[in-house]
């Protein structure tokens, strides 16, 4: 198994393999397994790992936990569920990690979660957004940090419901778990708030296989008042370019899940869409003291600005640190018990992992896109606490049967 450093250098991005005491091992450190799609989507996963490394370096500088330093051992899952399961096994058997964390793609996260359940190993899913991860397919050993697809879609739906002229909606989303969840959640919440809306002409391109011209043409033919976009990465860039060229967005409200995140907005440069309602990460305007300190430290360490992945990676390691302090043990069952109801502070505010479903209350930033000096940014944004956009205990119990 090649180490992640090799893969990242191949991608032209140099990030160290281990965060911890140089050359330390075994009893001197607590090893944390990190699994992510480093070669498949480095624009998102490398910032994630940089945030995680920064947090571990700071934790170790302040004394570590239980008299030991933390050590991050990373592996690349190549965006494939089978590879993710393979490296999870290798991390526990060969590297002797006490838990695994990370992951980006929903189908990969679901595969690791199922493996964690079978093998009774703790898995802290940082970024997979599929609702099933903690609800219909949730289990004792899986916890998720990022606000789920349902949570972020509900935030956008609540804002979209205020725009009375948007009654006829056309969604476009990648044809896999995350995309399907995103559309279903948005429809459910919006129709509850606005019974007068209808959904038409849904488009389901394959992930990273979008035929943007055909999709834009099909959406235009449906004659919607508004579009709900769930595409991201290279699919988003192609969709935005074709949509602008063919006038699809003119006079229409467009809501974009994740579109405001720097990982996806920044590469568009001057082609970034304007006037879209989005979830994202306006790191350049968040003035809270803890966040300002995080940005300063991140920029000093990496000579780069943070992305959403950066703060998710940072918060994931803060969660692990808080859990280990609470558990005072690396025994899996004791760590799982400590994760349930865990509360800790982060640069994005206080977070708790709900005991009933293992979903954290981390929130998201919601605002509008605008071109500023030839670059897409978020304006008129606000941070919404995830605790206000979670299903009730009764709903969770039905989903987790």
Q: Is 95 exposed, middle or buried (0-12, 13-18, 19+ CB in 10 A)?
A: middle
Task: State CA 319 to chain mean position distance.
Answer: 15
- Reported as a single tens digit per residue, the pLDDT across 320-359 is 999 999 999 999 999 999 999 999 999 999 999 999 999 9
24 or 183: which leads in pLDDT: 183
| 8 Å CB contact between 353 and 143 | yes
As a whole number, mean pLDDT of residues 255-275 equals 96
pLDDT (tens digit, 9 = 90+) per residue, 189-246?
999 999 999 999 999 999 899 999 999 999 999 999 999 999 998 999 999 999 999 9
Q: What are phi and psi of 348, to 5 degrees?
A: -100, 10
What's the pLDDT score for residue 254?
98
Give the C-alpha separation, 266 to 247, whole Å: 22
Average pLDDT value over all residues in the chain: 92
Give me the pLDDT at residue 7, please.
37
Higher pLDDT, 14 or 287: 287
131: nearest Cα among 151, 161, 114: 151
Please give the Cα distance from 39 to 209 (Å, whole number): 18
Query: What single-letter DSSP state applies at residue 215?
Result: H
Between 85 and 13, name the one with better pLDDT: 85
Angle subtended by helix axes 149-160 and 177-193, to nearest 10: 40
Over residues 291-299, the mean pLDDT reads: 98
Q: Which two tokens stand for residue 336?
A: 């799982």
> In 28-69, where does DSSP find H-type helix?
42-61
- Going along the chain from its start, the domains and CATH numbers come out as 4-146+289-348 (3.40.50.2300), 150-282+364-399 (3.40.50.2300)
Answer whether residue 177 shows pLDDT above 90.
no
pTM confidence score: 0.91
**pLDDT for 27:** 64
42-79 tens-digit pLDDT: 988 999 999 999 999 999 999 999 999 999 999 999 99
In whole angstroms, give the CA distance from residue 340 to residue 143. 9
Confidence of residue 26 (pLDDT cuts 50, 70, 90): very low
**Average pLDDT of span 247-275:** 96
How many residues does the structure list for the chain? 401
Rounded Cα gap, residues 30 and 68, in angstroms = 7
The pLDDT value recorded for residue 13 is: 37
Angle at 167 between CA 200 and CA 132, to 5 degrees: 60
> Distance between CA 28 and CA 23 in Å, rounded?
10
User: Residue 308: is it exposed, middle or buried by C-beta count within 10 angstroms (0-12/13-18/19+)?
Assistant: buried
- Residues 109-165 have pLDDT tens digits of 999 999 999 999 999 999 999 899 999 999 999 999 999 999 999 999 999 999 999
For residue 94, give both structure tokens. Answer: 């060969």
Spatial contact of 274 and 371, defined as CB atoms under 8 Å apart: yes
CB 137 within 8 A of CB 109: no
Phi, psi (degrees; rounded to nearest 5) at 274: -115, 145
pLDDT at 22 over 60: no
């Amino acid at each position: 198994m090649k180490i992640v450093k090799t893969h990242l250098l191949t991608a032209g991005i140099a990030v160290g393999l281990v965060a911890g005491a140089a050359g330390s091992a075994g009893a001197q450190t607590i090893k944390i397994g990190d699994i992510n799609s480093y070669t498949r989507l480095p624009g998102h996963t490398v910032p994630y790992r940089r945030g995680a490394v920064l947090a571990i370096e700071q934790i170790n500088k302040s004394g570590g936990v239980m008299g030991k330093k933390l050590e991050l051992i990373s592996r690349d899952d190549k965006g494939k569920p089978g590879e993710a399961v393979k490296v999870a096994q290798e991390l526990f058997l060969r590297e002797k990690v006490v838990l695994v964390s990370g992951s980006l793609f929903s189908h990969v996260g679901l595969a690791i979660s199922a493996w964690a359940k079978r093998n009774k190993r703790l898995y802290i899913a940082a970024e997979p957004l599929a609702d099933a991860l903690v609800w219909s397919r949730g289990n004792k050993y899986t916890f998720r940090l990022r606000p789920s697809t349902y949570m972020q879609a509900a935030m956008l739906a609540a804002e979209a419901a205020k725009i009375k002229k948007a009654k006829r909606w056309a969604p476009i989303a990648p044809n896999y778990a995350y995309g399907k969840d995103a559309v279903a959640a948005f429809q459910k919440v919006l129709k509850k708030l606005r019974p007068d809306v209808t959904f038409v002409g849904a488009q389901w391109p394959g992930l990273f296989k979008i035929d943007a011209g055909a999709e834009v043409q099909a959406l235009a033919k449906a004659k919607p008042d508004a579009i709900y976009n769930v595409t991201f990465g290279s699919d988003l860039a192609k969709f935005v370019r074709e949509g602008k060229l063919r006038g699809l967005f003119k006079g229409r409200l467009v809501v974009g899940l994740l579109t405001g995140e720097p990982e996806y907005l920044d590469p568009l440069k001057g082609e970034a869409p304007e006037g879209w309602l989005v979830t994202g990460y306006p790191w350049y305007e968040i003035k809270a003291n803890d966040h300002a300190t995080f940005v300063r430290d991140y920029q000093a360490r990496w000579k780069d600005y943070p992305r959403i992945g950066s703060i998710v990676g940072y918060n994931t390691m803060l969660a692990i640190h808080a859990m280990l302090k609470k558990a005072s043990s690396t025994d899996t069952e004791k760590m799982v018990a400590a994760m349930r109801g865990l509360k800790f502070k982060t640069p994005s505010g206080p977070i708790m992992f709900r005991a009933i479903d293992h979903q954290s209350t981390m929130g998201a930033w919601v605002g509008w896109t605008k071109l500023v000096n030839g670059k897409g940014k978020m304006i008129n944004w606000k941070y919404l606490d995830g605790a206000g956009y979670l299903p009730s205990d009764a709903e969770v119990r039905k989903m987790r049967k």
